[in-house]
Every structure is written in C-alpha cells, then in structure tokens.
Amino acid sequence: MKNPGRPLRSGLALASVAALGLILLHGPAAFAAEPSPAASYGMRTELREVFAPDGSITRQPIAVPAVDTPAPDSAVAAAAVTPIINNGDPATHLDLVIVGDGYTSTQLGTYDSHVRSKVNELFAVEPFASYKSLFNVWKVDVVSSQSGVDHDPYGTYRNTALDMYFYCGGTARLLCVNESKANQYARQAPDVDQVVALANTTTYGGAGGGVATAAGGNASAGQIVVHELGHSIGGLADEYDYGGGTNYTGAELREANASIYTRATMVSRQTKWWRWMGQSTPDGGVIDTFNGCRYYTNGIYRPSSNSIMRTLGRQFNLPGRERMIASFYAKATIASSEKALEVLVPQGIETIDISWTVDGREVTPARGATTLDRASLTAFGSGGHEVTVTVTDRTEWVRDPALLAGLTGTFTWRI
C-alpha cells in the first residue's frame, strides 16, 4: 500500500552520518564539472568520503547543491512499488527502499535485475545474511525520460528523474543524486528506514549520506552500500587513519569501533571491545587495538587490522558485527503478537529461543513454540492465570549485556 504522505523515520536515513557521506574516486579529480540541473539554488560544501577502485578510502570537501529541486507530484504518484523482500509488517521490520535513475519505461526489467543483484550482494555479508528476516526491501519504479546519467562519459547530459550525475564536485566516479527527489519517490513505499539510489550505468561509482548511491550495473559498486549501512544502521566509525590529522588528543569516541584506550587500559577498564580481545575476527586476524582510526594515524585505535569500515570488500569485525545486530533490533522487533497466546517471530534466525510461563512456572513442553494451547492451562488449576512468553536471541555474536537486553521481547496475558 502506497503512503506518499508518510515521513521518513528519523533514525536511520537522517542519522546516517550525512556530514561524512560516501563517495567514490577513480582516477584524478582533474577538473570541476558543470553543475547538474539540481544545483540551481546555489552550492554548499560538505566533507565526504572518497573511495578508490582498490577499496581504500579518503575524505575531501566537495560542493553540492544547497537546495534540491522537488519532483512533480504526478510523476511520484505514478511510481509502482514492488516488494523484493517482504518479511512482514513494516512497523516491526527494517525497511530498505531502492529507487533508480536513468531507467526508461522499457528498461524497468534491467532496473529490476540491478536491484536484485545489489540486494543479493548486501545479504551475502554478515550479519545481514543471518538477519535477513528482519528486513523488508522495497523497489520503487522511477521512470526517466532518457537512459543513463549525466557525465557518463563526461560532458554528456540526460533528462532523468533523480538528476544523478558523475563528477559531483569535480570528482570522477563520484555519483550524486537529488536527495529530495529520491526521498519523495522512496516515501511511496509502506515505510522507509534507509534509501539507496541506483544509477543505470556500468561505470564504477557511488556516493552516500542520507541517500546512498551506487552504479546499478557495476558488480563491485554494491560494497559502497554495505559500508554506508555500517554508518547509518550501526553508527560505526570509519576505521581508516587519514584525512583528519596525525595525533589525536581529544576525549573518548562515542562509536563502538573506535577508542583512545590501548589494549591494557581497555581490558582493565572493561570498556569498548574488551570482551572480544584476542578472538579471531571474520575480517582476518584477531581483535586487538590497532593504532590508526577515524581519520588519525595515532591516538585512536580500531578493533582489527582491516574491516569493511576501513576498506571496501572486507567483512565487519566482531565489535562491528555485534553493534550491527543490536542496531537491527533497535528498528525491527524480535517478536510481535496479534492475539492472546500467540507470538510472531522472525523466521530463519536459528538462535531465537521462546519460553512460556504460567503463573511464573515454565511450561516445558511449550518451549520453542509460538503458540500455547489454552487446554494446557487446566494443569495449573481453575481460575485466571498469568501467561508470559519471552523471546530471546541467544546469538554468540553479541556479548555486551547492555546490547543483549535489546535482543529480548516479552508479552503477558491474563487468561
């Protein structure tokens, strides 16, 4: 059901480190490109990330439109919405919305193929793979008058719905989008947590911020989306060590994967990723305190040598994966209930445990069941009873007790 009037949730799409963004660099940033039509209201400067083809990341200031022009309401209203992954009620799931640019009405089949390819790439990476059932993915069919995007190659222009263009801020392979239009179309979906805009191009490129972008037809560009969701969903810091300075002398960092504490101090204070210290990590090596993180070469430590928050194409490290799972559950509920003695839980998460109690006593035969037979209450005597079901994700990937508390849901009925 379309709901064009529903506002974006404030959590993910708007809290996605928009001041940093994500951008791609391939080759020199040689010259300033002519502005896109979206830039008609002047420019402002943002500090954004720049990705090289080898996956390494830097940051640089770029000029972007101060105000984006909106899309015509009639065009937005005509956009069809298709569920790519539909796991249930948008209110209890994390909703990823994909919009496209430079796809004509005869190229919507290509767009569908590009969307499914990027979705498959995302959910091949942990912890997205194991927690896929917490997500809904919606595809919005945005139809453009012409195929392709501006400056692909440089100097060519297309009339497209979302004004996407390479050479954003003069940087080659930096793929920007009119975020106002992208969000307008995204709001056609039943709900929105994060927006991704795909361009009809095979040229390696992308960007990020409130709306992440990627080249729809390029097999490698999807890694930008994975990295961006590390920021926007998990609140993770960048783990590369350039772009900020040499020696960091400030206060402790808020992000779960960055700290001013050495290994000894972290363990003695039992803070940050001390519970994971010395453990093998999915991105290679073991968890420790590696000097150089969050744009500084010294004074800030990262948990592993080289995770996806440092270089594209890598895995999340253990502390990063832990934080991502906890953040999934901050937006998607572990359980819901529509009627008494029945609970709905995500399918396919093998670590979920369900326990039932009647008047404080566990109903052993019902453990793991999503419903409780009313007839079983007779064993507890006549009269009313208090029935409670507790749903818990007992994953070994989350160790912090404060985060584990968010992996539990409880429902109680008076029967």
| CB-based contact 76:111 (threshold 8 Å) | no
Look at residues 359, 354, 348, 363 and name the one whose alpha carbon lies nearest to residue 387. 359
Q: Where in the chain is the domain with CATH 3.40.390.10?
A: 44-233
What are the φ/ψ torsions at residue 224 (nearest 5 degrees)? Answer: -60, -40
Which pairs with CB-CB distance under 8 Å and at least 24 residues apart come from 343-346? 343/370, 343/371, 343/389, 343/391, 343/411, 344/88, 344/370, 345/370, 345/391, 346/87, 346/131, 346/133, 346/134
Average pLDDT over the chain, rounded to an integer: 88
Q: How far apart are CA 90 and CA 58, in angstroms?
A: 36
| CB-based contact 328:127 (threshold 8 Å) | yes
pLDDT at 208: 66
pLDDT band at 336 (very low <50, low <70, confident <90, very high): very high
**pLDDT surpasses 90 at 413:** yes
Q: Which CATH architecture has domain 44-233?
A: 3-Layer(aba) Sandwich (3.40)
pLDDT at 382: 87
Peptide bond into 127 cis (omega under 30): yes
Q: What confidence tens digit (pLDDT) does each residue in 54-85 have?
A: 887 777 777 777 777 889 999 999 999 999 99
CA atoms within 13 A on the CB side of 236: 31
How wide is the angle at C-alpha 49 spanned by C-alphas 116 and 291, nearest 5°? 110
What are the φ/ψ torsions at residue 246 (nearest 5 degrees)? Answer: -95, -65
Q: What confidence tens digit (pLDDT) does each residue in 351-385 have?
A: 999 999 999 999 988 899 999 999 989 889 988 99
Q: Which uninterrupted H or E stretch holds 47?
A: strand 43-51
Look at phi and psi of residue 278 and say left if phi exceeds 0, alpha if psi is from -120 to 50, else beta.
left
pLDDT at 23: 37
**pLDDT surpasses 50 at 330:** yes
The arithmetic mean of pLDDT across residues 332-351, rounded, is: 94
Write out the two tokens for 157: 């222009």
pLDDT at 31: 32
- pTM score, whole prediction: 0.85
